[in-house]
Amino acid sequence: MKSLQRAWHRHSPQLFLGELLEKRWMEPIIPFTLTIAVFLAFAVMIPRYLTAGSLQELMRNFAEQGMVAVAMAFSVLSGGIDLSVGAVFAMSNFLALYLYLIIGLPLPVTFVLVVLFGAVMGAINGGLIAYGKTRPFLTTLVVLIIVRAAYNKVTVAFTNELASIDSGSSTWDFMGSGRVLGIPFNMLVLILLAVGTHFFLTRIKPGVHIMAVGSSRKAARHAGVNVKRVLFSAYVMSGAISALAGILYAARQSSSGTDTGVGWEINALAAVVLGGISLAGGRGTIARAVMGAAIIFMLTSGMVRLGISGNLTTAIIGIILLLAVGFNVKWVKNKGKVLQKVYVTPSWVDFEPPPSVERGSGTPFAENDRLKNAEAIALNMIEGPEDIILDRRDNLYTVNRNGSIIRFLAPDYTVREEFARIGGRPLGLAFDRDQNLLVCIAGMGVYGVKPDRSVFKVTDRTTRTRTRLKDDSRLYLADDLDVAPDGRIYFSEASTRYELTDWALDGFEGRGNGRLICHDPKTGTTRTVLKNLTFPNGICISHDGQSVLWASTWLCQINRYWIAGPKAGTSEVLIDNLPGYCDNINRASDGKYWLAFVGLRTPVYDLAMRNPVFRTRMVKQIPPDEWLCPGINYGCVVKFDDNGVVTESLWDPGGLSHPTITSVREHKGYLYIGGLENNRIGRVHLQDADPTWEAHKSYWGGA
Amino acid sequence: MTGSSGARGPKLTQTTAVLAMCAALIVVFSIFLNGFLTLGNLFALARNISILGILALGMAVVVIGRGLDLSQVASFAASTAIAIILMNSGYATPVALFIGFVMAIAIGFLNGFLISVIEMPPLLTTLASSLAVLGVVRTTAVQHYVVYLSKGHDEFLRLGGNVWGGVPISILIFAATAVVVHLFLSRTVIGRFVYAHGDNPDAARQTGLPTRPLTMIEYALCAAIGYIGGVVMVAQTALMHLQVAESTIIFDVIMVVVLGGVSLVGGRGNVMSVIAGTLLIGVLLNGMTIMDMDVQTQNIVKGIVLLIAILLDSRLHPRDEETSKQGD
C-alpha cells in the first residue's frame, strides 16, 4: 500500500498537467477542440455533411469570412480593434464589381485599385488612432457607419447595372468558382494569406513590431519601435485584407446586396475572441483567428441548415461572445495562479533519524566553535558568494549576486575588482588545465572566463528528454561543476522545473528534477549523464580522478558516479542520511573532501517530507512567508573520506557570521567559506593541514 | 454646475462653444432654409430631440463614470416591446410599463455586473449583450420586427401628444428628466461618487468607494433613463420597431454626449453639456431633413461630425494610451 502511494506521488498525473499547462500550444487547445467538436456535431446532425461537394461548398462560403477574421486579428493583435472590416469588405465587393464589370477596367488594375481602397480606409482608421490618438473602438465604429452608408447609397444607385452584369473573363470565373486540387480558389487564397501573415507576424520585423506594440506599448516604445507607424500599418493591413476578401466575394457572387457584409465585423470579433486571441493585444496567432472563424461559420451555417431562425443565431453569437470574452479576461488574469497551484507536486521522502549533532554527543557531527572566530574577508564588499576559488597566485575569486565574478587580490584581499561580468546568477566555480575560470550560471548555462578576462560560452543546452512534455534541452539551473583529468566538464543541474529563486519549491517536491551533465570541450558536445536526481548540487572529481562525487541536497546524500576504472558508468550512494542539506564538495589537502551544509535537518521538516499531501496543502493554502522551510540558519562544514566516513565537522553555532554555507575551499592551510546569502567570505586557519597544498596542483600537477 | 466646473476652463468653453455653434446653425438655417424657423418646425424639432436628449442623459451617467453603453437602444427596444405586448394582452398600463422598466434595469445591472465583476471591456460587453438581448427577445416573445400597440390606450398615447397649443409633452418629459438627473449628479452622494469613479477609477476604489455596485448602478440608470425615452417613443408612434436597435440612434446618442463636453475619459461634463449637445445635433438633423437628404447621406454627415468630435475630445482630454485598456 505504502509503495503504491509512493509510486503515485512519484509519477503523479499532476506533474504532467502542470507541465502541460506551461506549454504555449496549450493556449489554443480549447478553440481547437471546439472546432473539431462543432464539426463532428454537425457531421452527425446534418445528412451528407461529409460529402466532398458539401465540404467544398463549406470551404467556398467560409473563405471570405476567414479573411475578414484575419483582418480583425491584425488590429486586435496590435492592441486595438477594427470594426470597419465588414463595411470595407462590402464596399470592396461593390468596387470590384463596378470597376471590372461595369466600367470594364482590366482585372489587375481593378485588383490594385480595390486593395488600395481598403488600404486607404485602413489608413484613415490608423491615422486617426495612431496619430490622432482616438479610441480604436469608436473610431472604427464611425468609419463603419460612414462606409456602410456610402455603400448603401451606391448599391441603390447602381441597382440596375448590377442586376444585368455578365461575368467577365475566365480568370474572373476561376476566382469565383475555380478549384485547385479540389480546394476552392478562395479557400486557397485564405490558406496562403494565413500562412503568409503568420510568418509576417512572427518572423518579419514590421510584423513582430505589431505584436510588440500589442503586448506592451510602453516596452515597444522603449525598445525603439515607432509605435505610431506600427499601429498605422496594422490598420492599413487590416483594411487591405478586408478588401481582398471583398474582391473574392465579388468574383464568387457577382452581386452586391444590401445585406452584404452586415454584421461581419461582429462575427469576426467573436471569431477572434473565441480563437483565444487576447483583447489586450499581442497574444494570439492567425491560426487561432481562422479557427475561431471556422467555429462561428460552422455554427451559423449549420444552424441555417438545421432550420434554426436567424434571431436565435444572433442571440447565440452574442452569448458566445460574452462567454468567450469573460473567460478570456478571467483566464489571462488567473492563469499564473492556476499554474502555480497545479505545478508544485511533492513526492514522498522517507528519512531515518539522522546522527546527533548535539554538542558533546561524540559523533563527528557534534557542534563545536571552530568557525566562530573565522576572519572576515571582503566584509560588505560582496553579495552572496555562493562559491569561491583561489588561483595559483593566491587571488580569490567569487561570484556576486548581480552576475559578475569578483576578484580579491592577494595577499590581504582588500582590493576588490570586477574580474568579469557575465549576467545571470553565477554559482559554482572551477579552474581547468589552462587556468580558464569555468562558472555555472543559473538561468544561462556554463560559461568560462579566460585569464585575459574574456568571457566565452561553454554550453547552454544538453540532450532533451524525449519522454517529457517539457523541453528540458536548455539549462535551467546549472549549479556546480568540476573538471575531470581528461578535460571533460561535469556539472550538475539542480532542477529542470524551477528557477533558482524557487529553490524552496523544488525542496517541497523532493523529486528527481535534476541532472548530472557532461560537456566534452574536445568535441563540443554536451550530454546528460544521469537524470532524475534530487537536487544535485556540489560536484567534485575524486582525488584519483576515477569518479564524480555529487551531493543530493534534499535527500542528504553523497553519491559517487564512476567515470573510469572497472566500475565506470555505475553509480552508488557513498554517504546516506547526513544530518544536513549538502551543498558544494571540494577536495581537502589530506586526500579527503570538504562538504558544506547549507542547512540542517529538523524532525519537523523530516516529518513533512514524509507527507506529500501536507506539503501540497501548505503550498496552496498559506502565503509563502509562512511556509515550513528547511532550516538554513546554521553554519556547518564537514569532512569525509573516499570510504564515505565523516571524520570531523566545523561549526559556527547559530550561524552568526556564516549561515547557509554553500562552499568551502582549502588553500595553503586556510579554509575559505562562502554562503548563498552572505555579505562576507570567511577564513579559518587549519592547524593540521598541509600549508603548501593548493587545489590547482592537486588537479593539474605542480609547476 | 458640478462644483468643480468653474475651476476648469475647457469644459465650460466646450459647452458654451457648442451652444454658440448651435445658435449660429439656427441663424444660418433660418436664413437659408425655407420652413426652418416656423413654430410648427420648432415643435417638431423639440419632439424629435426630446427622445435623443433623454437617451443622452442616461448615456451621460455611464460616460461620466468612464463607461459606454452600446446596448441602451437594444435594451429599451426589447423592454418596451415586452411592455407593449403585455398592454395588448390586457395588463393594466402601469403594470405593463413597470414590468418593462424592471426588465430594462435588469439588463443594465447585468451589463454592470459583467463589466465590474467579470472585468470585461465595457464596449464589447454592451455590444454583445445587445445582440444577446435582442436575439433572445426576438426568438421568445416578439415574432415580428414591428410591435403595434393595439387600440384603447389613448390615456397612454397622450404622453406623445401636445399641450398648451402645440408644446410636445415629450420635451417636458425631457426637461423633467434633465432636472432629476442634474439633481442626482450634483446633489446626491451617489452622483458625486459617479464623478469620482469616472475621474480616476483606481483612486476611487482605493478610497473605499464601492466601485462595483457603483458601476452596476450607472448602467442600470442608463438603461432606466433609456427606457423612459423608449416609452416616449412608443407614445409618439404607438409602435416599437425593433430594428431601431440596428439603426444608428446609439451613435447619435454618443455624438450628443461627446459633443456637449461629457468627455469619454470620464468625470467631465454635466447635464448642461448634454442639453447643448442635444440642441446642436437636433438642429443639424432637422436641417438635414428639411434639405431632404436621404438617411444614408445623413449618416455620412453625422459620422464625419462624430469623427471630428472624437478627435477633438481626444485632443482636449488626452488619455494615457500606454495604460488604457482594450475596448476603449
Residues A455 and A307 in one domain: no
**Amino acid at residue number B140:** T
Comparing A534 with B5, which gets the higher pLDDT? A534
Facing residue for A312 by CB, picked from B139, B295, B319: B139
Residue B150: the pLDDT is 86
Residues A334 and A380 in one domain: no
Highest average pLDDT, of A128-137, A273-282, A401-410, B316-325, comes from A401-410
CATH number at residue A177: 1.10.3470
Q: Going residue by residue through chain B (328 aa), what tens digit of pLDDT does each one get?
A: 344 444 444 444 678 878 888 888 889 888 888 888 888 888 888 888 899 999 999 999 999 998 989 899 999 999 999 999 999 998 999 999 999 999 999 999 999 999 999 888 887 889 889 989 988 888 888 777 888 888 888 888 888 888 877 788 999 999 999 999 999 999 999 999 999 999 888 899 999 999 999 999 999 999 999 999 999 999 998 888 888 877 778 878 988 888 888 887 788 889 999 999 999 888 888 888 888 888 888 888 888 888 888 888 777 777 666 555 444 4
Residues A301 and A402 in one domain: no
Residues A133 and A31 in one domain: yes
Residue B46, phi then psi, degrees to nearest 5: -60, -45
Distance CA A177, CA A174 (A): 5
The average pLDDT across A242-266 equals: 85
Taking only residues 250 to 289 of chain A, the set having a beta carbon closer than 8 angstroms to any beta carbon of chain B reads: 266, 269-270, 273, 279-281
Residues A283 and A413 in one domain: no
Instruction: Using the 3D structure, point to which of A315, A339, A363 is the last residue of a domain.
Output: A339
Residue A162: the pLDDT is 77
Residue A200: the pLDDT is 92
Interface test with A, best of B310, B316, B325 (most A CBs within 10 A): B310
Facing residue for A138 by CB, picked from B124, B132, B310: B310
Do residues A270 and A288 touch, judged by C-beta distance below 8 A?
no
Cell of B308: 471630428
Percent of chain A with pLDDT over 70: 99
List pLDDT tens digits, range A158-178. Answer: 887 777 777 667 778 788 778
Q: Please report the number of interchain residue pairs, chain A to chain B, with beta-carbon separation below 8 angstroms.
A: 140
Residue B3: the pLDDT is 41
Structural domain contains residue A345: no
Chain A residues within 8 A of B307 when measuring between CB atoms: 128, 139, 142-143, 146
The domain B9-316 having CATH identifier 1.10.3470: the answer here is: yes
Facing residue for B131 by CB, picked from A138, A141, A318: A318
CATH number at residue A388: 2.120.10.30
Chain B residues within 8 A of A150 when measuring between CB atoms: 296, 300
Between A608-612, A653-657, B218-222, the lowest mean confidence (pLDDT) is in A653-657
Residues A316 and A426 in one domain: no
Structural domain contains residue A682: yes
What is the DSSP-derived secondary structure letter of residue A103? I
Instruction: Using the 3D structure, point to which of A291, A322, A339 is the last residue of a domain.
Output: A339
Residue A566, phi then psi, degrees to nearest 5: -65, -30
Q: What is the residue extent of each domain of chain B?
A: 9-316
Q: Is A210 on the interface with B (CB under 8 A)?
A: no
The average pLDDT across A319-337 equals: 80
* CA-to-CA dists, residue A531 to A22, A96, A465, A472, A483, angstroms: 21, 64, 9, 11, 19
Chain A residues within 8 A of B138 when measuring between CB atoms: 309, 311, 314-315
Residues A332 and A382 in one domain: no
Q: Is B299 on the interface with A (CB under 8 A)?
A: yes
Residue in chain A nearest B123 by alpha carbon: A137
Residues A311 and A408 in one domain: no
Structural domain contains residue A353: no
Q: What value does the CA radius of gyration of chain A take, rounded to a whole number of Å?
A: 34
Percent of chain A with pLDDT over 90: 47
Residue in chain B nearest A282 by alpha carbon: B326
Structural domain contains residue A514: yes
**ipTM value for the complex:** 0.82
Domain residues for the domain of A187 are: 2-339
Looking at chain B, which runs of residues are DSSP E strands?
146-148, 162-163, 167-168, 239-241
Residues A395 and A458 in one domain: yes
With bands split at pLDDT 50, 70 and 90, how would you rate the model's confidence at A274? confident
Distance CA A580, CA A355 (A): 10
Residue A466: the pLDDT is 83
Facing residue for B129 by CB, picked from A269, A309, A318: A318
Residues A508 and A619 in one domain: yes
Residue A164: the pLDDT is 73
Structural domain contains residue A344: no
Do residues A530 and A516 touch, judged by C-beta distance below 8 A?
yes
Residues A692 and A573 in one domain: yes
Residue in chain A nearest B129 by alpha carbon: A318
Do residues A215 and A206 touch, judged by C-beta distance below 8 A?
no
Residues A469 and A549 in one domain: yes
Structural domain contains residue A118: yes
Structural domain contains residue A364: no
Residue B320: the pLDDT is 65
DSSP calls for B10-27: HHHHHHHHHHHHHHHHHH
List pLDDT tens digits, range A440-495. Answer: 999 899 999 999 999 999 999 898 888 888 888 899 899 999 999 999 999 999 99
Residue A470, phi then psi, degrees to nearest 5: -75, 135
**Count of Cβ atoms closer than 10 Å to residue A630 Cβ:** 20
Report the gap between the CA of B320 and the closest CA in chain A (Å). Answer: 10
Q: In this structure, which long-range contacts are made by residues A418-423, counting pairs with CB atoms below 8 Å and at least 24 apart in sequence?
A: A419/A449, A419/A453, A420/A449, A420/A453, A420/A455, A421/A455, A422/A447, A422/A449, A422/A455
Cell of B216: 452596476
Report the gap between the CA of A424 and the closest CA in chain B (Å). Answer: 30
Q: What value does the CA radius of gyration of chain B take, rounded to a whole number of Å?
A: 19
Whether residues B114 and A134 touch (CB distance < 8 A) is answered with: no
Q: In this structure, which long-range contacts are made by residues A112-118, counting pairs with CB atoms below 8 Å and at least 24 apart in sequence?
A: A114/A243, A114/A246, A114/A247, A115/A240, A115/A243, A115/A244, A115/A247, A116/A243, A117/A88, A117/A91, A117/A92, A117/A243, A118/A88, A118/A92, A118/A239, A118/A240, A118/A241, A118/A242, A118/A243, A118/A244, A118/A246
Comparing B7 with A658, which gets the higher pLDDT? A658
* Number of domains composing chain A: 2
